[in-house]
Chains A and B, each alone.
Chain A
Amino acid sequence: MSRLLFSSVFSALLLTACPKTESTSPPPSTDASAAEAATPLATTDGKSLVATACLSCHSEQMLAQQRLTQAQWQKVVTKMVGWGANLDPSEVAPLVAYLSSTSGPDAGPYIAETIPASEALAELAPLPDPVPPGDPVRGKSLFIDKCSGCHGQDARGAPGALGVLLVDRPFLHRFADVAKTIRKGRGKMLPLSLSDTEIADILAHLRSLKPAAPAQ
Chain B
Amino acid sequence: MIGRRAILQAASVAALLRSKLAAADEVLIRQGGSPQNLSTPLDYFDRLITPTSVFFVRSHFGPPSLDRTRKTTFDGLLTMPLTLSVDELRSSFPEVTVTAVLQCAGNGRSFHRPSVPGVQWAHGAMGQATFTGVRLKDVLAKAGLSKDALHIRMSGADAPPKPTVPAFIRSIPIERALDPSTLLAYRMNGEDLTLAHGAPLRLVVPGWAGDHWVKWLTSVHAQKDEADGFYMKTAYRMPIDPVEPGAPVPPEKMKPASTFPVKSIIARPSSSKRPLGPQEIVGLAFSGVAPLASVEVSLDGGKTFTPAKLEGEPGVGRAQVFRFRFDQKTPAHIEALARARDAKGNVQPESPPWNPSGYFWNGWHSTEFEVSQ
Contacts and interface: CB of A to CB of B under 8 A. Distances in A.
Given A22-B39, A58-B35, A126 B366 contact: no
Report which residue of A18, A69, A116 has the largest number of chain B beta carbons within 10 angstroms of its beta carbon: A18
B122 A24 contact: yes
Contacts, number: 226
Interface of A: 1, 3-4, 7-12, 14-16, 18-19, 21-24, 26-27, 29, 56-62, 65-69, 72, 75-76, 82-84, 105, 110, 112-118, 120-121, 123-124, 126, 156-159, 164-165, 167-170, 172-173, 211-212, 214-215
9 contacts: A11-B123, A11-B367, A58-B33, A114-B29, A121-B53, A123-B34, A124-B36, A126-B66, A211-B218
Contacts of A83: 162, 164-166
B27 interface: yes
Interface of B: 20-24, 26-39, 41-43, 53-54, 57, 61-66, 70, 73, 110-111, 113-117, 119-120, 122-124, 155, 157, 159-169, 194-196, 218-219, 266, 269-272, 301-302, 335, 337, 350-351, 363-369
B65 A173 contact: yes
Contacts of A61: 30-33, 37
B301 A121 contact: no
A116 B26 contact: yes
Contacts of A114: 27-30, 41
B167 A215 contact: yes
B36 to A, nearest CB: 6
| 10 closest A-B pairs by CB | A117-B22, A215-B167, A214-B219, A59-B33, A24-B110, A84-B164, A84-B162, A117-B26, A8-B366, A19-B41
A18 B43 contact: yes
A66 B115 contact: yes
A24 B125 CA distance: 14
A160 to B, nearest CB: 8
A168 B164 contact: no
Given A8-B335, A61-B33, A118-B26, A170 B218 contact: no
A123 B194 CA distance: 12
A215 B159 contact: yes
Contact of A124 (B32, B63, B367, B368): B63
A16 B269 CA distance: 9
B43 A19 contact: yes
B64 A169 contact: yes
Contacts of A56: 161-162
A65 B120 contact: yes
B22 A118 contact: yes
Contacts of A24: 110-111, 120, 122
A170 B337 CA distance: 43
B28 A115 contact: yes
Contacts of B302: 4
A66 B57 CA distance: 19
Contacts of A84: 162-165
B28 A120 contact: yes
B120 A72 contact: no
Contact of B73 (A26, A68, A214): A214
Contact of A66 (B120, B165, B195): B120
A211 B113 contact: no
A4 B301 contact: yes
B227 to A, nearest CB: 10
Contacts of A19: 27, 29, 41, 43
A58 B22 contact: no
Nearest to B20: A121
B367 A57 contact: no
Given A15-B42, A58-B32, A157-B162, A211 B64 contact: yes
B28 A164 contact: no
A117 B27 contact: yes
A110 B29 CA distance: 12
Contacts of A69: 114
Contacts of A18: 41-43, 270
B162 A57 contact: yes
Given A22-B39, A117-B26, A121-B194, A12 B272 contact: yes
Contacts of A65: 31, 110, 119-120
A215 B301 contact: no
A67 B369 CA distance: 29
A22 B196 contact: no
A167 B32 CA distance: 22
A72 B165 contact: no
Contacts of A29: 114
B120 A59 contact: no
A118 B30 contact: no
A158 B163 contact: yes
Contact of B155 (A67, A115, A215): A215
A169 B350 contact: no
Contacts of A27: 113
Given A59-B34, A124-B195, A76 B160 contact: no
Contacts of B57: 120
Contacts of A116: 22, 24, 26-27
